[in-house]
Amino acid sequence: MNIINKLETDYIHYIKKKTQQANKDNISRTMTYQKFYKIHPEIKWSFLASMVSRNAGWNMTDLKTSVYKSFLKPRVRKQLFSTYERANWLIFSDAYPQLLLYQISLHLNRPMFHLLSSFSVSTFMVNEWFHFWKYKNQQRLLTALIINEQNVIQSPVPKHPFYKHHVFMNWPYLLQDFFFMSVVLFPTRNGFIYATNVHDFTSLTKRIKLGKKLASILFHCDLYQDFYDFAVHTEHTGSRSDYQSYLKNSDGYPSPILRKVYPIITHQDKIRKDWFLNGGVKKKWWKPEIQLVEDNHWSVFCKKRKIINDFYKVKNKLKKTFA
């Protein structure tokens, strides 16, 4: 084995070790994405991933609140948590080796993206990283990573028989999807929060479209600085108090700190097929998506949460009355 192959082998072991260490839970993933973005702001996807990952953590801890416990059986809450956790883990396990190889390429001053195959990264992203290295098109790489990561989770999560039957065809998911209860929040420290509806999570194309819309809001020239300020000054704990503490009048029910209510989950990583070789890329996935600043669903989201909270209080009162 020559020195170049030995060096590449060392890099592969290094990346696998670093990825495994950082892929411990939602907290470690979120902060790893954010730290990477602080060093490499040209990789915009990393900031988007950190902010979406924060939302995954908040959704996880919601399941441990008294409100959710009163409506959902333990089995259902466990299945919902597993869905969030699995998708969060899968995306990180695929994306972080890419980010580290980019960092190594910068250090060596030559592209090392041929090593991505050692981490089962799609040939689509191998080509896109070489394209980025040559042309430095930040927006194209951002879109490419959105397309890739949503394809990565399509078979293991939305299409997986377990999640399809126990989660996506079950009434808690169908109900919240019908009433647009699921949102992605981008908070600020000045009390402004931007909310974007998540609808039909099982649709690959709609998730890609959502990702591009979220990116357009996150990097909007009038909003980006406040979102970034929130991120760097707010430690991610998984609790909704992360952003509720900045609100003057918060009617939202508190959720616990993630690491106090969830153990570390061990994942089985099966052999991954290259999604790009099976289906390729649809032209519409590259189409830009613009989310209007005024199309903010925060107030509607708050009203829906209040209705659920009030219903929980009435239910508890009736339970005590007729106990």
Burial state string for 26-37 with b = 16 or more CB within 10 A and e = fewer than 16: bbbbbbbbbebb
**Cα 24 to Cα 32: distance, rounded to the nearest angstrom:** 11
The whole-number pLDDT of residue 321 equals 63
**Cα 193 to Cα 141: distance, rounded to the nearest angstrom:** 27
The whole-number pLDDT of residue 156 equals 86
Q: Which residues contact 161 (CB under 8 A, 6 or more apart)?
A: none
Q: Which residues contact 192 (CB under 8 A, 6 or more apart)?
A: 226
This prediction has a pTM of 0.93
The whole-number pLDDT of residue 320 equals 61
**Cα 230 to Cα 315: distance, rounded to the nearest angstrom:** 36
**Cα 289 to Cα 208: distance, rounded to the nearest angstrom:** 10
The whole-number pLDDT of residue 2 equals 45
Instruction: Give 10-residue mean pLDDT values along the chain (323 residues).
Output: 74 97 98 98 98 96 91 89 95 98 98 96 98 98 98 88 70 50 92 93 95 98 98 98 90 86 91 90 97 94 82 66 61
The whole-number pLDDT of residue 175 equals 53
The whole-number pLDDT of residue 169 equals 66
The whole-number pLDDT of residue 322 equals 61
